Amino acid sequence: MRKLIRPNAPNFLTEKLQIELGERYKKNREKNKGHQFNYWHTEKVGESTLYKEIRNKLIEISDDHCFYCDGYPPLSDDDTIDHFKPKSKPEFYDLVCSWENLYLACGHCQKAKGSEYNDLILRPDEINYEFDKFFKYDSDNDEVIVNLGADDLSQLRAEKTIEVFDFNHVGLKKLRGFFRKVYSQDPQININDLGYRFCLNFQQTI
Ligand SMILES: [Zn+2]
C-alpha cells in the first residue's frame, strides 16, 4: 500500500451533492434491501457522468494504480470505485458518495475486501500513513510483512490490512517480483509505468 495524498473533493462533487445522494440512497435502501446505488451513472457532469468524473479524479491521485495494492496497469475488471466503508452496511449508507470514502481499486482488492470493514484496516491516504511505519518488504519472497519494530496497534493494523487485501496472494507476489526485475534492469524507467511502486527500492534481504 503506497502512501497517497487525497486533495479536496472536486468542484463538481459538492458537499451538498454528497449529502443529497447519501440521503437518497439511505432512504431507498432502508425501504428496499435490494436497492442499488446507480445514481452516479445517471447524474450528469457536463457531457460526462458523475461516476466517470469521480473515477478520473481518483485516477489522477494514484497515476491509475490501485489505491490498495498499487497494482498497474489496470485490466478489464480494475479501476472500479470501492467504498472503503461498504455501502451494504446500514451505518454507512449515507457515505455512498462521500469523497473521502471512495477509493480506486483493482479486481483483486475488490474481491479480497468484499464488504469487510473494521477500524483497523489502513488507508493509503490516512494522515501519518507511511509504508515503512507499518510494513516491511521481504524481497526474498516478494511478501509484504508486518514491521515488527512498530507499536502493538500498528502491527495489528498492518496484519489485518495484509489479511483483508490478501496482499501476499501468489499472483501479486509474482507480479511484484516481475516489476522489481524490470526496475533493476532499467532504474531510469518512470516508476509510474510500473506496478507495486512501494517495493521497487527494496533490493536487499531483510
Ligand atoms: Zn489492488
Out of 89-93, 104-108, 201-205, which region has the weakest mean confidence (pLDDT)?
201-205
pLDDT at residue 158 is higher than 90: yes
Ligand 1 center from residue 32 Cα (angstroms):
31
Ligand 1 center from residue 68 Cα (angstroms):
5
What's the mean pLDDT in 72-100?
94
- What confidence score (pLDDT) does residue 206 get? 44
The owner of cell 475488490 is: 110
Residues lining ion ligand 1 (Cβ < 5 A) are 66, 68-69, 71, 106, 109
Which of 26, 106, 116, 10 has its CA nearest to residue 39? 26
pLDDT band at 205 (very low <50, low <70, confident <90, very high): very low
pLDDT digits (tens, 9 = 90+) for 115-135: 999 999 999 999 999 999 999
Ligand 1 center from residue 179 Cα (angstroms):
15
d(C-alpha 115, C-alpha 117), whole Å: 6
What's the mean pLDDT in 142-151?
97
**80-83 and 102-105 as β-strands: parallel, antiparallel, unpaired?**
antiparallel
Ligand 1 center from residue 111 Cα (angstroms):
9
pLDDT at residue 52 is higher than 60: yes
pLDDT at residue 203 is higher than 70: no
- What confidence score (pLDDT) does residue 202 get? 66
Ligand 1 center from residue 180 Cα (angstroms):
17
Ligand 1 center from residue 40 Cα (angstroms):
22
Ligand 1 center from residue 30 Cα (angstroms):
31
- What confidence score (pLDDT) does residue 153 get? 98
Strand partners, 45: 48
Burial of 71 (0-12, 13-18, 19+ CB in 10 A): buried
Ligand 1 center from residue 33 Cα (angstroms):
28
Ligand 1 center from residue 47 Cα (angstroms):
29
- What confidence score (pLDDT) does residue 76 get? 83
- What confidence score (pLDDT) does residue 187 get? 86
**Higher confidence at residue 179 or residue 206?**
179
- The CA-based angle 93-162-107, given to 5 degrees, is 60
C-alpha cell at 91: 451505518
Ligand 1 center from residue 108 Cα (angstroms):
5
Ligand 1 center from residue 93 Cα (angstroms):
24
pLDDT band at 159 (very low <50, low <70, confident <90, very high): very high
- What confidence score (pLDDT) does residue 78 get? 85
Do residues 174 and 161 touch, judged by C-beta distance below 8 A?
no
Do residues 173 and 71 touch, judged by C-beta distance below 8 A?
no
Average pLDDT for the chain: 95
Q: Where are the beta strands (DSSP E) in the chain?
A: 44-45, 48-49, 80-83, 102-105, 135-138, 143-146
pLDDT band at 43 (very low <50, low <70, confident <90, very high): very high
Ligand 1 center from residue 132 Cα (angstroms):
19
Strand partners, 80: 105
What whole-number percentage of the chain has pLDDT above 70? Answer: 98
Asked, as a colleague might, if the bond just before 73 is cis with ω within 30 of 0, I would say yes
pLDDT digits (tens, 9 = 90+) for 177-193: 999 999 999 989 999 99
pLDDT digits (tens, 9 = 90+) for 90-104: 999 999 999 999 999
